Structure 1
Amino acid sequence: MKKLSFLHSLMAVLMITAAFTACSEDDDNDTSGSSKGAHYDLTITVGKHGGMAKTETHVTLSVASLSDPDTTITFDGKGVEIADYTIESIYDDEFMYQVPSSMDRFSKLQLKNNELTVVQEQRFDKNTYTPRNYTHAWLDKNTLLIMSTTEDHTKVIWTKLNVKDMSIINEGTVDGIKVAEGYNVLSTSGLLTYRKSDKKLFYFYNNKGLTSGSNKSTNEPFFRIAVINPETMAVEQEIINSEAAQMQGSAYGELLQDFIFFDKDDNLYLTAFSTKSKKNYGQLLRIKNGEYDFEKGYNAFPDTKGKILTIQYLGGNKALVYSGDNAVGTGIQDVAYYYSIVDLNTKQATRLQYNGEDIAYSAGSFSQRSVYNAKENKAYFGVSNDTENRIYIYDVATGNVSLGSKLATGVYFDQIRFFEK
C-alpha cells in the first residue's frame, strides 16, 4: 500500500493548490460525471486511513461510473484537497452542507468539475457550532435542522436553515433536555432524525459523568430518546431505552457515517451497541411506526462480531451493513471489518461473498465506503486492505456480487458519496 514516489508527487501538487481541475483525461479515469448528471465522489487519504483525523490530507475525486472492473481510478494530479472544509458533511442530491474549519458559519458546497465551489454561506447568529460535532434532520426538502450541545455540553441548541439561500429561519435551545442528576455533561452531538408520518423528531443522546481533571467519561447505562415537536422544539416525551447502552456516532452526528434509516412503512432503525467482557457489540434496533420506544427484544443483527460502522437501506426489508470483528481487531488501521446483508424480518445477517468466497476483511473503521443507487437498484461498496483497493457491486434484485472499479495503490480509500444531479 505504500508507493513513496506517488505520495511525494501527490503531496507536492496539494501544496500548490487546494482546488484544481485535471488538465487532461486519463483513459482509465472518466471524471466527466462531475458535471453531467449522477456521479460518485470518492475520498482518499494519504499515509493512512483518516476518518475524523484533522491532521490527515483528504482528497476527493468525482467519477461518472464505478462499474468497470478493468478501470483503475487514479488520484495523481486529479481531484481536490479538502483543506478549509471537512469530509464530515450533510448531503442532499446535489450539495454538501457543513460547519467549516473557520468555526463561524454554515457552508453550502458543491464539487463540480473537480473543483470545490462555495455556493453560499451563512454566518452564525446566536448559536455557534464546532466542525464535525453536530447532528441534523431534514424537515422538508428545503428546511435543514442542525442540533448540538453547547461548548460545555450541558445544553442542546438548534438552528433551522432554509437551504435555498442558507438563511437562518429560527434558532434556540431545547429547554426540555437537561443533564440528569449524577452526571455533568451530555453527548457531544447526539443523533437526530425526523419521522414524516407523524411529524416527530427523535433525538438520541447520553448523559455522561466526567472524571475530575480528565477527559474520561462514564456513560449512563442506557441512552435516551427525546421525542420533539419540530414546530415548537418542545420535548413531548423522554424515554430511557432498555435495549442498548449507546448509539453509534453520538460524538459526530451522522456526518461521516450512516446510522439511521426508515423502511417503506416508516419504521425507524438505529445502530447501537452494548459492551460484553469489555468489548463492544453492535445492535440494529427498531422503533415501529406510531411508537416512540424501541421494540422489545428486537435486534436485526444478533450475531454481530463487533460494532456496526455503517448501514444502508436497500428496500425489500434488506440492509447493507459494514461491521467489525473484535477477534481480528478494533483499530481504524486494522484489517478487521466486513460487509453483510441483513434481513430485517428474519433478523439474520449473511456475509457478502464473491465467487463463493467471503469478501476479504477491510481496514478503516471511520469510513463510509458504501452507497445505494436506487435507480440501478445496486449498492456500491469498497474494500481497502493490504492487497486490494476495489469497489464491489451488490445487485439487490438478484443478490449477485460483481467486481467494480479498482483504486490506485498507495492511497487509503475512506468514502463514497453519490449525487444524482
Structure 2
Amino acid sequence: MAKVKIEFWHALGGAIGRDILTAFIDEFNASQDIVEVEAIYQGSYDDLLNKYILALQAGDPPHLVHVYEIGTRRMIDLKATVPLQKFIDREPEILEHLVPNLLSYYTIDGQLYSIPFNSSNAILYYNKDMFREAGLDPERPPRTYSEFREYARRMTGNGKYGFGNYIYGWYFEQLLAVADAEYVNNGNGRLAPATAATFNNERGVAILQLFKDMKDDGSYLDTGRDGDALRAAFVSGQVAMRIGSTGGFASTFADIGDRFELGAAFLPAPDDVEWGGVVIGGGSIWMTAGFSEEEEEAAWYFLKHLVSPESTAYWHINTGYFPVDRRAMELPEVQALHERYPQFRVAIDQLEASRQTYATQGAVIGVFPEARKAIEEAMEYVLLGYMTPKEALDEAAAQVTAAIRRYNAQMGLR
C-alpha cells in the first residue's frame, strides 16, 4: 500500500531548516510506511502566510502550514483550517503531557487550533566574565529595572556597554507580559475580538523609558534594526547583556566558543510589579481543511509524532526551542544537556514560572505584523529623541486601534 503524501510548508531558514528539520523529516519518513512528508521552505513567516493565502485562493494549499504565533487570529478568521480539537476530543491523552503554557496560546474559545512546534520566548543573555570584572555576582543576575540599570552602568566603559539591543517589537511584547500588562483590550483579544490597543499603558511607557534612560547614560548600545550587529557585539564581548530568543541557545554557544562564560536569566520586571511571565513565541502547525479523511488522518499521524517526547527532545537539544512534551525532560540525553548547559534549563524554568494570565497568554489580533511595525517605529522615535515614550506609544496605539477596527469590519467581527 502506497504511503499517503503530505505537503508541509515551513518558515525555518538557515541551518535549523536546512539541516535539523530536514534530518528530522527524513528519519520520520524512513521510520514508517504510512505517511510521506514533503517539507517545503517558503521564506519568512510573513512570506509564508502570504503564499498560503494565495494558495487557498488558487485551490492548491498544503496539508500542513507553519505559522508564527502572531498569525493565530488571522488563521482562525480565514476559516480554512481544521481545529485540532477535533482530534484531541478523540485522543485526549495527547494533551496530558504537553506544556500548558504552550497550549494556552493556541487555545481560543476552548478550541486548540494548532500544535505548538518551534516554541520559544525571550530571555536575558549575559556575559558572566564581564559581571566578574565589574565586581558583580554572575550567579545573581538583575531581576528588576533598577538592578538592571545599575548592573549595566557598572559594566559600561572603555568601549564596552552594559546592555545592547536592537529594535524588535517582540521584545517589547515580552517585557509587557513580564509586567503583567495587556497589549490590547478584551482580555488581550481572548474574551472577545480586540477593538483597541492598550500597550500605551503605564507599563508600556516604562519599557521605552528604561531604554531611553539607559541610552542617555551611555550604557545602552543601539544597533538600530540590525540584529546581526547586536549578536556580533555580544559574542565579541563588547556588550554584557542582551535580550534574545531561547531558540538561539545552541547557535549562541557555537558562536561564543570559549571566549567567555554565558549566563541566562529571567527577564527583569519593574520594581513595583510582581513578575508576570513571558509570552510564547515561535510558531505552530495548522491543518488545512478540504482534504480527504485519509489525508487528514495522515497529517494528524505526523503531528502526533512531532510532539512525542523523543521528537521534542531532538528539537530542544539541537536548537534550544522548548520541548513541547514534558516527558522529554526525563530522557537521559536532555538531562545530560541541562547538566552541561544549565542555561537551557533556565529558559524552561522561566516559562514554568510564568503565571497564566491574559497578559502572559499573549495578544490575539489579526493585524499583529502592523502592530509590531508601529511599536518598532515608536521605539526608534524615542531612542532618537524625537518623541517621549508616552507620545510615541500613544501615536502607535492610535494607528493599531485604527488597523484593528478596519480588520474587524472586514472580517465581520464585533
TM-score interval w.r.t. the shorter chain?
Answer: under 0.3
- Identify, as 1 or 2, the structure richer in strand: 1
The alignment's TM-score, normalised by the length of structure 1, stands at 0.26
Q: Which has the higher contact order (CA 8 A, sep 6+)?
A: 2
